[in-house]
């Protein structure tokens, strides 16, 4: 698949709005994610790292947990993960454990502050495997959120 589906585009617009709104609230980070299944957003989440003083509460992790809870199972292989920021190493690993088959994101690693990636030498391909175990589409509506992550102070 070369571009986002209409459902992915609609869901991406939603999480971009959520990220932009969160970026104006004290203690909140402007990073949002969602899980899409059969054209429906079944769960979403924003970054709760500072709100819950928990370094693992990235938006993608929050959304993955909510989706698994809603579906009553840890297997999310029938879902697409969407994020306003390229998922970090921890989030990509969690997506792999959940069986995610497609990841769509806005801001790409190469265009944001280095602070968002603890292991800068790892790339998406390192998580995809050979042959790739999931499809990735980055840069989707990137210009709408890039300013949030340019200096690492989202």
Which residues have a catalytic role annotated? 60
Alpha-carbon span 80 to 95, nearest angstrom: 10
Alpha-carbon span 22 to 38, nearest angstrom: 27
- Closest by CA to 145, choosing from 5, 1, 10, 14, is 14
Using N-to-C axis directions, what is the helix angle for 89-98 and 59-71, rounded to 10°?
20
Contact (CB, 8 A) for 85 and 63? no
Tokens of 95: 């997506």
């Amino acid at each position: 698949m070369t571009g986002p589906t209409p459902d992915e585009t609609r869901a991406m617009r939603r999480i971009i709005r959520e990220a932009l709104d969160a970026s104006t609230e004290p203690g909140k980070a402007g990073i949002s994610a969602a899980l899409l299944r059969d054209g429906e957003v079944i769960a979403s989440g924003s970054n709760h790292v500072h709100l819950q003083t928990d370094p693992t509460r990235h938006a993608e992790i929050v959304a993955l947990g909510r989706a698994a809870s809603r579906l009553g199972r840890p297997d999310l292989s029938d879902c697409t993960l969407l994020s306003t920021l390229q998922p970090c190493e921890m989030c990509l690993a969690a997506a792999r454990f959940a069986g995610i088959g497609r990841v769509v994101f806005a801001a790409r690693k190469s265009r944001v502050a280095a602070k968002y990636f603890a292991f800068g030498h790892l790339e998406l391909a390192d998580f995809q495997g050979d042959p790739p175990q999931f499809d990735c589409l980055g840069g989707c509506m990137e210009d709408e959120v890039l300013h949030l992550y340019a200096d690492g102070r989202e």
